[in-house]
Structure 1
Amino acid sequence: MRLPLIGTLKLRGRLTLYVTLLAVAPLLLSTWLGVGTTQKMMQEQVHEMLRIEAEGLKDLVEASLVERETSVRSWAEDALLRESLQRDSYAMSDNVLARLQLRYTTFTGLVLFTDDGRAVSASTPALRDSFAGQEEAVRNAPWFKAAQEGRFTSTTLTQEDPVFGMQVLHLAAPVMESRSGRRMGVLLAAYDWGQVGEVVKAAVARARSRKNESFALEVRTASGTVLFDSRGQEAWSIPNVVSEQAINGSEIPDVGDGWRFVALSDPEEVYATMNKLVAAIGAGAMGVVVLAALASLLVARSITAPISRLSQVVRRIVKEGDLTQKPDVRSNDEVGELARSFVHLVDHLRETTESLQRGTQVLTDTVAELTRAAEEEESNLTRQAAALQQTQVTAQEIKQTSEVAAERAGAVLMVATRAEELGQGGARALAESMNGFQTLRDQVNEMAEQISGLNERAQRIGGITQTVKGLADRSNMLALNAAIEAVRSGEHGKGFGIVAKEIRTLANQSIHSTGQVGGLLEDITQAILKTVELSEQGRVRMEAGMAQARTSGESIQALSGIVQDNMNAVRQISGAVSQQNAGINEIFSALTDLSSLMHDTMVGLQATQRVTQSLREVAEQMQHVARSYRV
C-alpha cells in the first residue's frame, strides 16, 4: 500500500526519509527510554529526599514529645509537689516549678492545679495569677480532663492559648497521693510549640543549600489540620505539589500519635534540574536528527545524482532522438554499471540505426530502380500489345483472303469442266493467286519477325522478373537481419522488429508475384514458340503451294488442252488452299491466345507495380523511423 505522502516523493526524498528514520529511530527510542528512566530515577530521588526529611522531622518531634511527656510525668510524681498539695502550702512547689522553668526553656510555664481546677502554684507568680478565677474554664478544658484520666491530648494545639498568648502544647499529668493513689491535682507544663521551628531549621537549611527555596515542612493532625508550617505566614498553595509524608505511629505512645509530618516542594523547582537535563537531551537528539537528515540527504544525493543525469539523457533521447548523448557517470557502483550498460545500449542502438538508415537507403534506391524498370517494361509491353493487335488485324485480313481463295478454288473446281473455255481466265486467275500468295508470304514473314521480337521481349521480361525476385530476396534477407538486430535490442527494438516483419511480408509477396509473372512469361514464351512453329509450317506450306501453283501454271500453259490434268491441278490447288486456310486459322488462334497472354502479363505487371508501390511506402516508413534518431 502506498502512503499518500511517501508515494509522491521522489527517490532522493524517499532515501533521505528512510535513512533518517533508520538512523534516528533507534536514537530517539534509546533517548526516550533514557529520558524516561532518568526522570523516574530523579523523581524517585526527589521523593526519597522528601520522605527522609519527613521521617527525620517525625523522629525529632516524636522523640521530643516522648521526652517532654516523660519529664512531665516524672515531675508530677515529685514529693514536694505532693506535700504542697497535702499541706496546702505552696512555697516549696513554687521553687520547684521555677527551677524546672529555668532548666527546661522549651516550656513557657508550669502550673500546679488542685483537682477542682484552681491554680495554686506556678513557675512565676504572674502565671499563677493569670489563672485566678478561671477554675470552671480549667475544669472544662480538654487537657485538664485528659490529665484527670491519666493521658495527654493535643486538641488545644490548633488555637492560641489566651493565658500564654501563643500556641502551646498542654502537657498535663495528674498528681497522685503516694499511699492511697488518690488524685490530688494536675501539673500543667505548657510546651512552646514554636520550638518546632528550631527543630526544622537544619532540614530547611539543607534544602536551601540544594537551591530548593520552595522546600517546606508541615505537621498535620490525622484529620489534616495544620499544626506547624515552616513557611509561617508566607505559606503558598501550588497545584500538583511534590510531597512525601511520615505518620507518627502508635509503636511509641505519645500525644502526637496519628500526626502526619509532610515534606513538600514546588515541582517546577525540584524538577528544574531534571527538566534542564531533559531539554538538553532533547536538544541533543534534535541536533543528531538534523545531522542525520543532512547526512541522509548527502547520501541520497550521491546515489540519485547519477540516476538523475542518466534520466536526463534518456529523456533527451526519447524527446529529440539524439543518440549522441552519453551520461557523465563516474561511479563504480550499481548505478555506474547501469550507466555503462546504457552507454553500450545507446552505441548498439546507434549502430543499428546507422545500419537501418543505410539499409533503407539501399532499399529506397532498389525500389526506385525497380519502379523505373517496371515503368519501362510497362511501356515496352504497351508497344508490344499494340504491335500484337496490329498483327492480329493483319492475320484477320489474311484469314479473310484465305477464305476468298478457298471460295475461288471451289469455284474453279466447280467450273473445271469449263476450264477449257475459261483457260484464258484461269491463267489470269492463277496469276492473281500467285500475287496473293506472294503477298500472303510477305505478311506471314512479317508476322514471324514480329512474333520473334515478341519472344525476345518476353525473355527480357523474364530477366526483369528475375531481377525483381533478386531484389525481393535481398529485401527478405535485409528484413531478417533487421529482425535479428531488433531482437538483440530488446524493448528498444520492438519497433524495428515490426518494420522488419512488414518488409519480410512484402518481400515474400514480391517473390510470389515474380514467380507468378515468371510462370506467365514461360507460358507466353511457349505459346510464342508454338506460334513461330505454326508460322514456319504455314510458310513452308505456302512456299509449297506457290511452287504447286507455278507448276499448275506451267501445266496449264503446257497442257491447256488436257482437262483432266487441269482438274487434278485444280483439286491440288483446292486442297492446298484448304490447308492454307486451316494454317491461317491456327495462326489467328495463336495470335488471339498471345493477346490474352499479353493481357495477363499486363495484369501481372500492374500487380508488380502495386507491390513496388508497397515497397516504396515501407521504405519511406523505414526512412522516417531511421531518421527520427540523430547519430
Structure 2
Amino acid sequence: MRLPLIGTLKLRGRLTLYVTLLAVVPLLASSLLGSNATQRMMQEQVHEMLRIEAEGLKDLVEASLAERETSVRSWAEDTLLREALLTGSYRQSDAVLSRLQLRYTTFTGLVLFTEDGRAVSASTEPLKDSFVGQEEAVRSSPWFKAALEGRFTSALLTQEDPVFGMQVLHLAAPVMESRGGRRLGVLLAAYDWGQVGEVVKAAMLRARARENDSFSLEVRTQADELLFDSRGQGAERMAHPVAVEAINGPEIPDVGDGWRFVALSDPEDVYASVNKLSLAVLGMVLTTVVVVALCAFLLARGVALPITRLNQSVRHIVREGDLTQKLEAHGDDEVGELARSFVQMVDNLKETAQSLQRGTQVLTDTVAELTRAAEQQENNITRQAAALQETQVTAQEIKQTSLIASERATAVLQVATKAEELGQGGASALSESMTGFQGMQDQVNEMAAQIGRLNERAQRIGGITQTVKGLADRSNMLALNAAIEAVRSGEHGKGFAIVAKEIRTLANQSIHSTAEVGTLLEDITQSIIKTVELSEQGQQRMEQGLMKARSSGESIQALSTIVQDNMNAVRQIASAVSQQNAGIAQIFTAMTDLSTMMHDTMVGLQASQRVTQALRDVAEQMQKVARSYRV
C-alpha cells in the first residue's frame, strides 16, 4: 500500500527518496546493529572491569586479613607474652608489643589481657591506661568472647572505637600455655580499618586515569552494613549506579568471610565512551545520509529531467492538439529509448491524423452522395407507391365489374339454354304437325305463342348482349389505363403490363363475340317476325297449310340452328367473362404483391436512411477528432 505522502511526490522526489532509503536503511541497520553490538561489548567490558576491581579488592582485603590474623596468632604464641602472664612481670611483654607496633604500622595498638579482662600489657602506656576499669566492658565485648572461643570476629567494625579513637578491626587471639594448653589470656591487635583506603588507592588511580571520577569501592557485610566506602564516610549514595560485587568465600577462612566487595560507578561516566561512540556513529550516519541524499537527488534529477521534458511535450500535445512541434531525443539509456519511441509514436500519430482527416473527408462526401441518392430514391418510390395505390383501386373496380359481367353471362347462358329447349320443342311440334294435319290449327296457335315468347327472350338476350358489350368496353378502357400505369411503374410494372395486355385481348374478344351475338339476335328477331307473319298467313291460308307447314318447318329448323349457334356464342361469352374474371383476380393478386414489395422497399429505404444518418454522425465525430490535431 502506498503512503499518501509518497503518492504526492513526483518522480524526482520518489527516486531521491527510494535511492536514499536503499542506501541509508542498510547503513542504519548495520550501524544500529554494530552500535548495539559495540555497546554490549563495551558494557561487558565495563562490567568485567568493575568485576576485576571488586575481585581485586576482595583478594587484597582477604589476603591482608588472613595475613593479619596469622600474625596475631603467631604473636599470641610468643614465649615472652606467656611468661609475662605466668609470672606477672610485664616489662618484657611491653617491649615486645611496642616493637611489633613499630614494625607493623597498620595496627594502631597491641594490648594483652588476662582471662578476667584486665589489661596487663600494651604497646604504649597510655593505651594500657585507657583500659583501666574497663574489665567488664572487655569481658562482654564480642571480640573478647570470640577470642576465648579461639576465633575472630568483625563485630563493632562499623563504629568508631572509643579507646583507639578510630574505626578499627579487633583481631584478638587467645594466649595458651605451651605444654598444658591452658588459656592464659587474650592478645588484642587493633587493625586500622582506614588502611583499606591504601589498598584501594591503586584502583582509584586507574579509574581516574579512565576519567571515571564516580568510581568507588565498597565493603559490606552479608546484612548490607557498610564497612568501607572509598568516597569516605557519609558520602551520598548514587541513585542508579552500575555495580558489580565479589563475595569473600570460605575458601580462605578469615574474619571477612561473607563480606561483599562492591565496585560502583555512575552510568554517565561508565558509558561515556559508549555515548561518544554512539554520537560519532550518529554523526557519521547523518553525514552519509546527507551525502547519499545529495547524490540521489543529482541522480534523480539526471533521470527525471528528460522525462519532465517529454512530459511537457505530451501535455502540450494533449492540451493544444499540436503535432507539428519538433521533439528531440538524447541519450542511449532507457529514457533515451523512451523518448525516441515517443517521437516515432508522434510521427505515427501525425500520419494517422492526416489519414483520418482524408478518410473523414471522403466518408463525408460519400455519405452526402448516399443521402442525395436515398432522397431521390425515396421520392421515386413515393410516386410509384401513389401510382400503385391508384392502380390497385382501379384493379379493385375492374374486379367488381368483372364479377358483375360474370353474373350477367351466367344469366344469359341460362336464358339461351331455355331458348335451346324451346327450339327443340318447336321442332318436335312441327314434326307432329307433319304427321297430323288435323291438329295444326292448335299447334300453329301454340307455335305463335311460343314464337312471341321467343321474340321477347331474344330481345332480352339482345339487352344482355349490349350489357356484355358495355362491360367489355369498360374492361378495354381499364386495361388501357392499367397498361399506362404499368409503363409509368417501370421495372416493377412489367408483370402488370402483361396482365393488362391479356385483359385487353379478352375484352376485344368479348366485344367481337358480342357483335356476333348481336348480329345473330338480329337475324333471330327478323326470323321470328317472319315466322309470325307466316303463322298469320298460315291461319289465313289454311288450305295451303301443308306446303307452308313444310316451309314453316324448315324455317323453324333454321331458327333452331340459329338458337343453337346463339347458345354456342353465349357459352363463348360466358367462358371469356370467366377467363376475364380469373385474369382480373390475378391482376389484383399481383397488385397486392406489388404493394407488399413496395412497402418492404420503403422499409429498406428508411433503414438505409437511418444507416446513412449514423454514417453522417460517425463522419462528423471523426472529423472532430481529426481536426483536434494540427498536422
Partner of 1:507: none
Q: Give 3-state SS (helix, strand or coil) of 2:85's partner.
A: helix
2:125 maps to amino acid: P
Partner of 1:529: 498
Offset of residue 83 of structure 1: 3.6
Offset of residue 446 of structure 1: 4.1
Offset of residue 590 of structure 1: 2.6
Using the alignment, how far apart are the partners of 1:370 and 1:226 within structure 2? 122
| Runs of 5+ unmatched residues, structure 1 | 462-520
Using the alignment, how far apart are the partners of 1:12 and 1:357 within structure 2? 46
Using the alignment, how far apart are the partners of 1:404 and 1:235 within structure 2? 158
Partner of 1:381: 385
Q: Deviations over 1:459-499 (max 9, x none)?
A: 523xxxxxxxxxxxxxxxxxxxxxxxxxxxxxxxxxxxxxx
Using the alignment, how far apart are the partners of 2:43 and 2:177 within structure 1? 57
Using the alignment, how far apart are the partners of 1:63 and 1:390 within structure 2? 153
Equivalent residues in 2 for 1:498-509 (5 A)?
A: none
Q: Give 3-state SS (helix, strand or coil) of 1:169's partner.
A: strand
Tell me if structure 1 keeps the 8 A contact 2:398–2:475: no
Partner of 1:208: 208
Provide closer, same or farther for how the CA distance between residues 279 and 600 of structure 1 changes in structure 2, counting only shifts above 3 A: farther
Equivalent residues in 2 for 1:359-438 (5 A)?
A: 362=366, 366=370, 369-370=373-374, 372-387=376-391, 389-390=393-394, 393=397
Partner of 1:115: 115
Using the alignment, how far apart are the partners of 1:41 and 1:264 within structure 2? 19
Using the alignment, how far apart are the partners of 2:137 and 2:474 within structure 1? 181
Q: Deviations over 1:544-574 (max 9, x none)?
A: 76589789999999xx989787886676566
Using the alignment, how far apart are the partners of 1:250 and 1:166 within structure 2? 28
Partner of 2:430: none
Tell me if structure 2 keeps the 8 A contact 1:364–1:616: no
Partner of 1:38: 38
Partner of 1:73: 73
Equivalent residues in 2 for 1:97-108 (5 A)?
A: 97-108=97-108
Partner of 1:609: 602
Offset of residue 617 of structure 1: 3.6
Which moved further from structure 2: 563-572 or 222-231? Answer: 563-572
Using the alignment, how far apart are the partners of 1:360 and 1:379 within structure 2? 29
Which moved further from structure 2: 205-214 or 441-450? Answer: 441-450
Task: Name the % identity.
Answer: 44
Equivalent residues in 2 for 1:182-331 (5 A)?
A: 182-233=182-233, 235-278=235-278, 281=281
2:49 maps to amino acid: M
| Runs of 5+ unmatched residues, structure 2 | 424-446, 532-554, 627-631
Q: Give 3-state SS (helix, strand or coil) of 1:583's partner.
A: helix
Matched pairs, number: 552
Using the alignment, how far apart are the partners of 1:615 and 1:210 within structure 2? 105
Offset of residue 164 of structure 1: 0.8
Provide closer, same or farther for how the CA distance between residues 572 and 281 of structure 1 changes in structure 2, counting only shifts above 3 A: farther
1:449 aligned onto 2:453 = no
Offset of residue 125 of structure 1: 1.7
Q: Over alpha carbons, which structure has the higher Rg?
A: 2
Partner of 1:175: 175
The TM-score normalised by the length of structure 2 is: 0.68
Tell me if structure 2 keeps the 8 A contact 1:61–1:196: yes
Q: Deviations over 1:157-181 (max 9, x none)?
A: 1211110111001122233344444
Q: Deviations over 1:94-140 (max 9, x none)?
A: 33323332332221112222332222222222111111111121122
1:198 maps to amino acid: E
Partner of 1:63: 63
Which moved further from structure 2: 88-97 or 433-442? Answer: 433-442
Offset of residue 86 of structure 1: 3.7
Tell me if structure 2 keeps the 8 A contact 1:385–1:595: no
1:161 aligned onto 2:164 = no
Q: Give 3-state SS (helix, strand or coil) of 1:529's partner.
A: helix
Q: Give 3-state SS (helix, strand or coil) of 1:453's partner.
A: helix
Q: Give 3-state SS (helix, strand or coil) of 2:157's partner.
A: helix
Tell me if structure 1 keeps the 8 A contact 2:112–2:186: yes
Offset of residue 202 of structure 1: 1.5
Provide closer, same or farther for how the CA distance between residues 42 and 109 of structure 1 changes in structure 2, counting only shifts above 3 A: same
Partner of 1:472: none
Provide closer, same or farther for how the CA distance between residues 194 and 339 of structure 1 changes in structure 2, counting only shifts above 3 A: same
Q: Deviations over 1:237-295 (max 9, x none)?
A: 34553221222222222222222211112234323333454466567668878999996
Using the alignment, how far apart are the partners of 1:443 and 1:34 within structure 2? 125
Offset of residue 608 of structure 1: 3.1
Provide closer, same or farther for how the CA distance between residues 549 and 360 of structure 1 changes in structure 2, counting only shifts above 3 A: same
1:452 maps to amino acid: A
Offset of residue 367 of structure 1: 6.5
Q: Give 3-state SS (helix, strand or coil) of 2:250's partner.
A: coil
2:80 maps to amino acid: L
Q: Deviations over 1:385-410 (max 9, x none)?
A: 32453466478668878988998997
Q: Deviations over 1:50-102 (max 9, x none)?
A: 11001111111122222222222333333333343344333333333233323
Using the alignment, how far apart are the partners of 2:95 and 2:47 within structure 1? 50
1:597 aligned onto 2:590 = yes
Q: Give 3-state SS (helix, strand or coil) of 1:377's partner.
A: helix
Offset of residue 218 of structure 1: 0.7
Which moved further from structure 2: 533-542 or 110-119? Answer: 533-542
Which moved further from structure 2: 403-412 or 67-76? Answer: 403-412
Using the alignment, how far apart are the partners of 1:363 and 1:566 within structure 2? 80
Which moved further from structure 2: 588-597 or 198-207? Answer: 588-597
Partner of 1:488: none
Q: Give 3-state SS (helix, strand or coil) of 2:186's partner.
A: strand
Offset of residue 150 of structure 1: 2.8
Identify the match of residue 587 of structure 1 among 535, 560, 580: 580
Using the alignment, how far apart are the partners of 1:12 and 1:359 within structure 2? 47
2:480 maps to amino acid: E
Tell me if structure 1 keeps the 8 A contact 2:409–2:577: no
Provide closer, same or farther for how the CA distance between residues 548 and 585 of structure 1 changes in structure 2, counting only shifts above 3 A: closer
Provide closer, same or farther for how the CA distance between residues 291 and 460 of structure 1 changes in structure 2, counting only shifts above 3 A: farther
Provide closer, same or farther for how the CA distance between residues 329 and 164 of structure 1 changes in structure 2, counting only shifts above 3 A: farther
1:604 maps to amino acid: M
Using the alignment, how far apart are the partners of 1:390 and 1:51 within structure 2? 136
2:263 maps to amino acid: A
CA RMSD after TM alignment: 5.7
Q: Give 3-state SS (helix, strand or coil) of 1:232's partner.
A: coil
Provide closer, same or farther for how the CA distance between residues 13 and 287 of structure 1 changes in structure 2, counting only shifts above 3 A: farther
Partner of 1:92: 92
The TM-score normalised by the length of structure 1 is: 0.68
Using the alignment, how far apart are the partners of 2:240 and 2:374 within structure 1? 104
Partner of 1:483: none
Partner of 1:498: none
Using the alignment, how far apart are the partners of 2:400 and 2:79 within structure 1? 189
Offset of residue 233 of structure 1: 3.5
Tell me if structure 1 keeps the 8 A contact 2:219–2:229: yes
Which moved further from structure 2: 34-43 or 343-352? Answer: 343-352
Using the alignment, how far apart are the partners of 1:101 and 1:196 within structure 2? 18
Q: Give 3-state SS (helix, strand or coil) of 1:157's partner.
A: coil
Provide closer, same or farther for how the CA distance between residues 225 and 372 of structure 1 changes in structure 2, counting only shifts above 3 A: same
Using the alignment, how far apart are the partners of 1:623 and 1:349 within structure 2? 21
2:103 maps to amino acid: R
Provide closer, same or farther for how the CA distance between residues 301 and 586 of structure 1 changes in structure 2, counting only shifts above 3 A: farther
Tell me if structure 2 keeps the 8 A contact 1:441–1:542: yes
Partner of 2:47: 47
Partner of 2:144: 144
Q: Give 3-state SS (helix, strand or coil) of 1:262's partner.
A: strand
